Amino acid sequence: MTNDNLTTTTRWVSYGLITAALVAFLAYFWVYNIYAFALFQFPFDYDQGEGYELLDTVLFSQGEWPYRDSNAYPFYSSNYPPVFHLVIVPLVWLFGPQYWTGRLVGYLGTLITAAAIGYAVHRVGGRKHAWLSALCGLGYLASNYVYHVGPLFRQHLFMVMFETLAVVWLTAVYEREERTGQPHWRGLLGVMVLLVLAGYTKQLAYATVLAVFGFMFLRDWKRPFIWGVPSRPSSELSFCGSTGLQMGTGGRTPLRPTSTNL
């Protein structure tokens, strides 16, 4: 076999494997959608935590805090920060306390995350490797964990959405700065806002916050300190949010969510 024939054979084998992988991941995506839309129609809690999430959302929709004294009736206090529930509140106002409202938001969050992953790969590979972008995005949705948790009324993957968007945005900001030679402060502010939203969705986002600030430290050691001090708008946003929650709940907001999730 000549080198040309070997190259042609290898190329077609590669095309075949790529096509097979795309077909497999598209099939996974199809199954994921079947599962998600079936859950949208299921009127009861499918996961042990969904009822608590719906209760938190209903309380927010009524202008009440879910962060309460668990030693007093009804002996309940929420385990999680408010962002995920607040996003769902308008749907509860429109359609009532339905499980599908939170499931829909969680499902859409996984699609946004997959699109962000595909976009990140596309920025490097370009149109020539569009198949790789599709594989990476679909690969996320094919994950067993994403399949199980994504369409549920749970906030973990909504936190992952904000984290992923923050990291992808950060790489775009640094690429622009390297291309223009000018700092892009508004872009970095957007990254910090996304990290704050991730943290106020679930405190486990602290791991991504540390990773982002570690990356910034390696590129320019001064930046993490500049963006971490209270004078920055992102820090002020986080501080105001935390202070408002503590004042509104009599100091109970940080106790239960932090002790539960950290």
Residue in the structure block whose two tokens are 């990140």: 120
pLDDT, position 258 = 55
pLDDT, position 34 = 97
Residue in the structure block whose two tokens are 């990356």: 215
The dihedrals phi and psi of 17, each to the nearest 5 degrees, come to -65, -40
Among positive and negative, which fits the CA dihedral 133, 136, 139, 141? Answer: negative
Going from N- to C-terminal start, the domains of the chain cover 3-249
What pTM did the predictor assign? 0.86
Among positive and negative, which fits the CA dihedral 164, 54, 31, 41? Answer: negative
Q: Which of 78, 80, 26, 32 is nearest to 55 (CA)?
A: 78
Please enumerate in sequence order all residues whose Cβ is within 8 A of that of 213, keeping only pairs 6 or more positions apart, or say none: 224, 227, 228
pLDDT, one tens digit for every residue, the chain (262 residues): 555 665 777 878 888 888 999 999 999 999 999 999 999 999 999 998 999 999 999 999 999 988 887 777 777 888 889 999 999 999 999 999 999 999 999 999 999 999 999 999 999 877 778 899 999 999 999 999 999 999 999 999 999 999 999 999 999 999 999 899 898 889 999 999 999 999 999 988 999 999 999 999 998 888 888 877 643 444 445 545 555 555 554 555 555 555 555 5
- Residues belonging to the chain: 262
Cα-based angle 173, 175, 179 (whole degrees, multiple of 5): 115
pLDDT, position 51 = 93
pLDDT, position 242 = 53
DSSP state of 80: S
